[in-house]
Structure 1
Amino acid sequence: MARWSSSAEIVEPIAGWAMAITPAGSAATPGELADNLEWFAAAVPGTAVGALAADGRWSFDKPVPLHDNDVWCRASIQGQGCEILRFDGLATLAEVWLDNERILVSDNMFLAHAVEATLSGAHTLTIAFRANAARASASRPRPRWRSAMIAGDGLRHLRTTLLGHMPGWCPPVDVVGPWRPISRIRRTCDLHIRLVDLRAEPIGEGGVVRISLDLAGDLQGSPAVLVCAGAESPLRRASSGRLEGELHLANVDPWMPNGYGAQPLYSVRARIGETVLDLGRVGFRAIAVDSGPDRKGFGLVVNGRPVFCRGACWTPLDVLMLNASPEALRDALTQLRDAGFTMLRISGVTVYETDAFYAFCDELGLLVWQDFMFANLDYPVADAAFAAGVAEEARQFLLRTQASPCLAVLCGGSEIAQQAAMLGYPPEAWSGPLTGEILPAAVAALRPDVPYVEGSPWGGDLPFAANEGVTHYYGVGAYRRPLEDARRAHVRFASECLAFANVPEPVTLDRHLPVPAVHDPRWKARTPRDVGAAWDFEDVRDHYLGLLFGVDPARLRTEDPERFLALSRATTAEVMEATFAEWRRPGSPTRGGLVWFLRDLWPGAGWGVIDATGEPKSAFWALKRAFRPVQLTMTDEGVNGLTLHLANDTPRPVEAVLSFSCLREGATPVARGERLVLLPPGSGQTLGSAALLGSFFDVTYAYRFGPPAHDVCVATLADAATGRVLADAFHFPQGRGATRVPVALSVQVDRDREGWSLLVAADRFAQSVHVIDEAFCPDENWFHLPPGRDKRIRLTPRSAGDATPAGRVAAVNAVASFPYRTA
């Protein structure tokens, strides 16, 4: 419910839960449950599907529907005296009994509840999760529109996740059960927190912390102080049970997003007599929206620095349990930090994340675009009870994340206005009290430091227009526009973009989906599609495969399935890297792009750039290159040649050598040039290829004075002092092509104090080089390698043990792959 704690409170999770499933309505109370009912162990926090899967009773291939049944959970507790029973989330229609007394009824899975209970020995805590189906199908006023994406318009009346209700891309997971922690709280004194309002604001070189504490218990005569960053300030009594105060700090370090600076966090405490209240951590950052000179843009400015928001839409790490351990969350988020991500979006079709998620994003500098959990549907806010529940849901979420500097955008929901507009409704139907009044009022009261957007997408003559406000951009992608559309569409901020059926690596397919790619029904069942469309996202990927490599995807899939998969992986990587090259160039109007989405919900060729097992796909490695804080990209400007774009997002100046060359047959330089460049902090530069070469050369093969003289252009940005490659970029004036040539790769296996690594080199340009190793994951993959450059690839074991590297390195333009193993 909140990230604050008190030394006067002992919080203990309730363990030892068992679960059972009964026909809907067969038992009204725990006393009516059959004596021979079959109970099985259940982890809390968790879901019924997760418990069934752990018990071997549920799988993606044989899902068990639950929404037509009642699910029961029970646990034994012992104690004496008054305690607080805390339920952080019950999905979704829940009744809670202590022995035979009903103590709680909840109809919103996103609400937390605290119930006082008097214990006198041994007790049984029982929860009945009632069937959603009857409530969802109950007769109610008709919605203004129906969503083709969501299975069941009755869901608009239920405050539950849409996961499991979107058959085009989500596995059939019925979310039922105690999906958030259940705890008991014992107090050692009467003084305890009812509510905390905590704000932190940077002011010049310093900052101010403001606090309002609503407390229960006797405060008479107790000295109270606010403590932060080694300083303290007295708290004043504003009213009975309320303390207020502020602490001015002369010097604090600002909190900046990943790649733009450091992320210092400061602990805040209050001392009231002998009781210490831990109020969490704050970061000092100011965030604003820059709409540009024409007032049509959308970009974030953090502590005065414009930020290019690059990242993806977050998906739960475990769609069955809807909970991930803190260790798993930290590992997943650290991987994104290290890959140059600056932002994650939590979409309204998923769930609010745990406190640990936001705390780790605070630590790692990952901005969070947070949708409230509404999407696509016409929600019944005219119902006073529904509206009140929504307001409380927003209030609780904002309170528990109130101190988080990572929260960068708060958004009314996903594709609500878009749904109405695409169905032909007029502009007055695109908004309403939910996103126009209730949610922004909650934000204004509790997080006025965070910009609010009514919806994703939002802005323009149509709410999904790419050239104004926030868009879901699928011109490159679902709508199969040419790669140039990424510039032509004049995208301002893409809160969703670039969805493809991204093919997992062989290690995942061999272990979790060992079926013929594309042809097998199990493969197709896990391929995303828009419900009702005559195509799926493999058709989209195949379109770009043909465009980039000049082959017939259907024929290639039939005649050489392994090469088809390799070129499919290369395709989505190339398209994503090329799109972000357009968006990150100086002069681009685009201020952010978030890929749909981060991690697959089940193994298969899903939208995720990371598969369901946590294995990065080719698209992830492309994004890691595209998201480098010190970046070099190239764009084809036709008769104007190639333009090289440099960016330095970091707070430090960069002195580097920029080199450029054109290679014939991937090996022989036919033109080259270089210069020393200085990139000040937070700067960008643009240079033409002619300026580097010093004379005319048809680098883009636009003039066509005779046959082409080269087939690849290579640009490299290297640190001037050390020679370390900071970034590189490549251009193919004749297209990438599918022809294979006798590229020779040398692969050397090394081991040092940091672990295993590969040293890879090529005798000529090697395209989309990738490592295939069942036991080890590389730290870079699906990259281009020019001749004359060694590349060291660190290897991380996928599991504990004494395995040694043994695999192969391949390139999509190479005739053969090259095996390696330890001596």
Structure 2
Amino acid sequence: MKQWAWGVGLVLLLALHALPTVAAPLQAQWSFRLLPGNAQLKAHPEAAQWRPASVPGAVHTDLLATKLIPDPYAGAPEAGLQWIGLADWEYQARFDVDAATLARSHAELVFDGLDTFAEVMLNGRPLLRAGNSHRTWRAAVQGQLRASGNELRVVFRSPITTLLPGVQAMPHKIAGNYPSPYGDEPRDAMVGNFVRKPGYHFGWDWGPRYVTAGIWRPVRLESWNAQRITDVAVQTTALDAQRAVLQVAVEVEAAVARQARVQVEMLDPDGRVAATVGQPAALHAGAQVVLVPVQLAQPRRWWPVGHGEQARYTVRARIDADTPEAAEHSIRTGLRTVELRREKDAKGGQGFAFVVNGVPIFAKGANVIPFDMFPARVDPSRIRRELTAARDANMNMLRNWGGGYYEDEAFFDIADELGLLVWQDFMFGGGMQPGYDPAFRANVVAEARDNVRRLRRHPSLVLWCGNNEEETAWKDWGHGRDLKAADPAFAARVWQGYVDLFGNDLRKMVADEGLGVPYWSSSPSNDLDTVANDSTRGDKHYWQVWGNPALPVQAYLRETPRFMSEYGLQAWPVLRTLEGIIPAEELRVDSHTVRAHQKFMAGEGNQRLLQYIEREFGTPRDFSDFVYLGQVMQAEGIQLAALHHRASRPYTMGSLYWQLNDVWPGASWSSIDYAGRWKALHFHAKRFFADHAVAALRDEGVTRISLLNDLQQPLNAQWRLRMMDVDGRQVSKQQHAVTVPALSALEVGRFADAELLGRADPARTVAVVELLDGTRVLSRQVVYFAAAKDMQLPKVQIDSRWTQDGDEIVLELRSAQLARGVWVEFERMDATLDDNAIDLVPGEPVRIKVKAGAGLETLREALRIRSVTDAMASR
């Protein structure tokens, strides 16, 4: 009987050992409350009792779910919710652990995101203290778990009350970002740049101030026995169309020293085995890396969208396959090379171009900010919606801006799939960092290591950038000048800390762990050279249009950078997105609620927006026309800049406008609003970022015409220039055959106004410039010779015609006269259009494909069309 029991025990033991490493989300019921004894309890006693919580989540969303606070986005509740960021919060959970997990010799609790100053206790014993929202926190828990009733407790301390005494005690402060208008934090002692937490939570000029706390990413329990594979990385030694020479790094953690066999298997994009390599390894106790060389013939490379396929391989690593000690780990990755090419020119300038698989890529795209104020609310479908919209607008690069958080794997998986290159900032949004503090720097280095290693498998990731605007702020905005005047010794210490962190520490981390992805110390920058925001070298942020001194949009044509990584114009969301957010009676430029959703210049941004609208169109009649004309102005202005950048190739090799998306329903520089609706700018981007496009750019009485070809094959086409009046009468026409070389911008003509117009009235005449493939229009631009408010634009009648072929519904628009900025929408319903925000040339139809959850008759009845002349008060 004893022998039988022993045998069963041995079989059970072997079965447990045969299980691979197990990483499972923690199955627990969470609750939260305001920490007992906290100063905020007196004013908010309703938050004292335990209430259900969501993990991942945030205290704001938990308070909202339990109806303790109103919707943070609707109306103007922001001032009344600042107490949440001043409070300390407590979360707790109870969970059970199965017998198999308890039997394993190693177990860890892993917290992928704790926001931010957190004390974690397990079964009444301290487990860890966290102080960085961007890090992964691990704690060994073998021997501390029990089968049932485990108690996990997490206390979050307010970052403001935690750090404020130290910041206030500083004789001279380092520069912060946006001071709070609500009194929860002194304006002269901001803590945001001292804490490793998303900077935008402290407020930005496109989003509210909600200083969050909580368990914002998943918690999981990992367990294992003899050994586990903790990471697999693929280093590319050589890669071309014939051969890939790879080094696969398999990171192993072993319980004891032992002999093992490591096997690497690579599956091609179709799931077929492309290579299998095995080799012995002498493991020691602890962590180590086993390098396995792999070669592939005729590899399928990963390319940016428009340049080839987005091929991805599965890399599967095994240790001691088919043995009780077996461990396995797999990743999906793409094979590509990337270079940041910085060639010097004869005039002392220096280029800034991304080269993928040996091909220079003109970067077309936008800056990405967080998708929500509360990151746990962002699911993969939301990310896919925005990234697909970027790809559909012919973008090939997105810059993940440094004031938010490092995105989830889902973001990069989707970018890999869609062929979108990613410029990734480290999470520093502005101001100045206390890099002079060794503990702060060590915390950042640990954060960088976590995220570089987590994201490095993604072929879409092509740059790590140290920070956003910190170098230019120090050198150009007065941050350095003011601190030097106040305390020269401290200023020197602050700057040396900056150089240590961004010039050395992060650069070394990326070099050591980033698998060859380039590093850039700041944006804008020339990588710590003398001038930070230089048009002749490095990348450029240009804000003299929109920002101070608020130059007209034509100034974009006089600024020619090597790579434009920020520029922008503001506009409001589509009105439908504001339903339920701003009451109908409050839809006025100067209403309290509208101002609360306009964060630029502390709510005064609508005056800046009106300034730009009125320059071109005059004063809008009402709020609806204000929103519409603002979107037309934004779209036309950014189009001017982007086409200028593209026409300046190869001197200029990138154009990333500010910004792609929104964190909430408010005024901003985005081309996609918070609800995912495209503004006019995004429809324009689809045209001005197209692989084949015409750039007809008029400035100071001269129109420069260039033809753009971003593909790796020459384009045989024609270009046509027609002069016509607003009623469609043709004044003149010319058409020419042309071959546009691959990867180029070809200037085909410069024309003075007098040459184009002759005796024609500039208030009634336009130029229509087109790139043609036979009779098919590849790209079209209408050039205006006067501001819309000074033109004799007719009141147009736009005719609409519907056709349906199976599931495809097409709306055809036609006007006998010129119709500028035609916008199609549907009353009380949403529809997806493949084109919008267009200029109708007299007599020439435009066909728009429409997708909607409604039939043809419903669409016909709901159709609403407007043009610029409809919205101008003088008309």
**TM-score past 0.5 threshold:** yes
Q: 1:633 Cα deviation (Å)?
A: 1.3
* Cα distance between partner residues in 1 of 2:19 and 2:782: 58
Q: What is residue 610 of structure 1 aligned with on the other side?
A: 672
2:818 to 745, 748, 765: 765
Deviating runs (4+, > 6 A) in structure 1? 798-803
Q: What is residue 62 of structure 1 aligned with on the other side?
A: 77
Q: What is residue 212 of structure 1 aligned with on the other side?
A: 249
| Alignment of 1:662 onto 2:717 | no
Q: What is residue 639 of structure 2 aligned with on the other side?
A: 577
Q: 1:567 Cα deviation (Å)?
A: 2.1
| Alignment of 1:729 onto 2:781 | yes
| Alignment of 1:261 onto 2:308 | yes
Matches within 5 A, 1:626-665: 626-636=688-698, 642-665=703-726
Q: What is residue 91 of structure 1 aligned with on the other side?
A: 115
Q: What is residue 399 of structure 2 aligned with on the other side?
A: 345
* Cα distance between partner residues in 2 of 1:566 and 1:121: 61
SS at match of 1:432: helix
Give per-residue Cα distances to partners, 1:491-512, cap 9 Å, x unaligned.
Answer: 2222221142x12223223443
Give yes or no for contact 1:43–1:51 (8 Å, CA) kept in 2. yes
User: Amino acid of the residue matched to residue 225 of structure 1?
Assistant: Q
Q: What is residue 117 of structure 1 aligned with on the other side?
A: 141
- Structure 1 unpaired stretches of 5+: 1-5, 28-33, 691-695, 818-823
SS at match of 2:390: helix
* Cα distance between partner residues in 1 of 2:855 and 2:93: 35
Q: Is the alpha carbon distance of 1:323 and 1:801 closer, same or farther for their aligned partners in structure 2, counting shifts above 3 Å? A: farther
Give yes or no for contact 1:194–1:214 (8 Å, CA) kept in 2. yes
Give per-residue Cα distances to partners, 1:189-243, cap 9 Å, x unaligned.
Answer: 5221244443235423222221222312368564322222311223453753542
Q: 1:363 Cα deviation (Å)?
A: 1.4
Q: 1:98 Cα deviation (Å)?
A: 1.7
Matches within 5 A, 1:387-426: 387-421=441-475, 422-423=477-478, 425=480
* Cα distance between partner residues in 1 of 2:659 and 2:862: 29
- Structure 2 unpaired stretches of 5+: 1-17, 40-44, 181-188, 269-273, 485-491
Q: What is residue 15 of structure 2 aligned with on the other side?
A: none
Q: Is the alpha carbon distance of 1:538 and 1:815 closer, same or farther for their aligned partners in structure 2, counting shifts above 3 Å? A: closer
Give yes or no for contact 1:343–1:368 (8 Å, CA) kept in 2. yes
* Cα distance between partner residues in 2 of 1:7 and 1:124: 26
User: Is 258-267 or 290-299 further displaced after alignment?
Assistant: 290-299
Q: What is residue 820 of structure 1 aligned with on the other side?
A: none
Q: What is residue 136 of structure 1 aligned with on the other side?
A: 163
Give per-residue Cα distances to partners, 1:158-204, cap 9 Å, x unaligned.
Answer: 111112213543212222111111112244x5221244443235423
| Alignment of 1:163 onto 2:200 | yes
Give per-residue Cα distances to partners, 1:114-153, cap 9 Å, x unaligned.
Answer: 2232432211222111222222213254555323535543
Give yes or no for contact 1:414–1:455 (8 Å, CA) kept in 2. yes
Q: What is residue 277 of structure 1 aligned with on the other side?
A: 329
User: Is 475-484 or 761-770 further displaced after alignment?
Assistant: 475-484
Matches within 5 A, 1:509-528: 509-513=578-582, 514=584, 515-528=586-599
1:232 to 258, 276, 284: 276
User: Is 800-809 or 316-325 further displaced after alignment?
Assistant: 800-809
User: Is 47-56 or 140-149 further displaced after alignment?
Assistant: 140-149
User: Amino acid of the residue matched to residue 386 of structure 1?
Assistant: F
* Cα distance between partner residues in 2 of 1:36 and 1:732: 60
Give yes or no for contact 1:471–1:492 (8 Å, CA) kept in 2. yes
User: Is 794-803 or 379-388 further displaced after alignment?
Assistant: 794-803
Q: What is residue 487 of structure 2 aligned with on the other side?
A: none
* Cα distance between partner residues in 1 of 2:297 and 2:741: 28
Q: 1:801 Cα deviation (Å)?
A: 14
1:51 to 26, 47, 62: 62
| Alignment of 1:566 onto 2:577 | no
Give yes or no for contact 2:560–2:645 (8 Å, CA) kept in 1. no
Q: Is the alpha carbon distance of 1:24 and 1:166 closer, same or farther for their aligned partners in structure 2, counting shifts above 3 Å? A: farther
The alignment's TM-score, normalised by the length of structure 1, stands at: 0.88
| Alignment of 1:75 onto 2:93 | yes
2:542 to 459, 473, 476: 473
User: Amino acid of the residue matched to residue 361 of structure 2?
Assistant: V
User: Amino acid of the residue matched to residue 295 of structure 2?
Assistant: H
Give yes or no for contact 1:91–1:109 (8 Å, CA) kept in 2. yes
Q: Is the alpha carbon distance of 1:769 and 1:389 closer, same or farther for their aligned partners in structure 2, counting shifts above 3 Å? A: same
Q: 1:487 Cα deviation (Å)?
A: 3.1
Q: Is the alpha carbon distance of 1:802 and 1:498 closer, same or farther for their aligned partners in structure 2, counting shifts above 3 Å? A: same
* Cα distance between partner residues in 2 of 1:709 and 1:672: 19
1:12 to 24, 31, 34: 24
Matches within 5 A, 1:352-371: 352-371=406-425
CA RMSD of aligned residues (A): 3.1
Q: Is the alpha carbon distance of 1:278 and 1:803 closer, same or farther for their aligned partners in structure 2, counting shifts above 3 Å? A: farther
Q: 1:67 Cα deviation (Å)?
A: 2.2
Matches within 5 A, 1:185-224: 185-187=222-224, 189-205=225-241, 206-217=243-254, 220=258, 222-224=260-262
Matches within 5 A, 1:372-387: 372-387=426-441
* Cα distance between partner residues in 1 of 2:731 and 2:199: 57
1:490 to 543, 560, 575: 560
* Cα distance between partner residues in 2 of 1:511 and 1:798: 22
Kindly, what percent of the aligned residue pairs are identical? Answer: 24
SS at match of 2:525: coil
User: Amino acid of the residue matched to residue 659 of structure 2?
Assistant: F
Give per-residue Cα distances to partners, 1:42-82, cap 9 Å, x unaligned.
Answer: 32222111222233324223243322212222222111315
Q: Is the alpha carbon distance of 1:215 and 1:150 closer, same or farther for their aligned partners in structure 2, counting shifts above 3 Å? A: farther
Give yes or no for contact 2:94–2:151 (8 Å, CA) kept in 1. yes
Q: 1:258 Cα deviation (Å)?
A: 2.1
User: Amino acid of the residue matched to residue 240 of structure 2?
Assistant: G
| Alignment of 1:149 onto 2:178 | yes
Give per-residue Cα distances to partners, 1:785-815, cap 9 Å, x unaligned.
Answer: 2133322222233799997554334342455
Q: Is the alpha carbon distance of 1:588 and 1:564 closer, same or farther for their aligned partners in structure 2, counting shifts above 3 Å? A: farther
SS at match of 1:582: helix
Q: Is the alpha carbon distance of 1:285 and 1:484 closer, same or farther for their aligned partners in structure 2, counting shifts above 3 Å? A: same
Give yes or no for contact 2:424–2:464 (8 Å, CA) kept in 1. yes
Give yes or no for contact 1:778–1:794 (8 Å, CA) kept in 2. yes
* Cα distance between partner residues in 2 of 1:563 and 1:58: 30
Q: What is residue 9 of structure 2 aligned with on the other side?
A: none
Q: Which has the higher helix share?
A: 2
* Cα distance between partner residues in 1 of 2:740 and 2:205: 46
Q: What is residue 523 of structure 2 aligned with on the other side?
A: 456
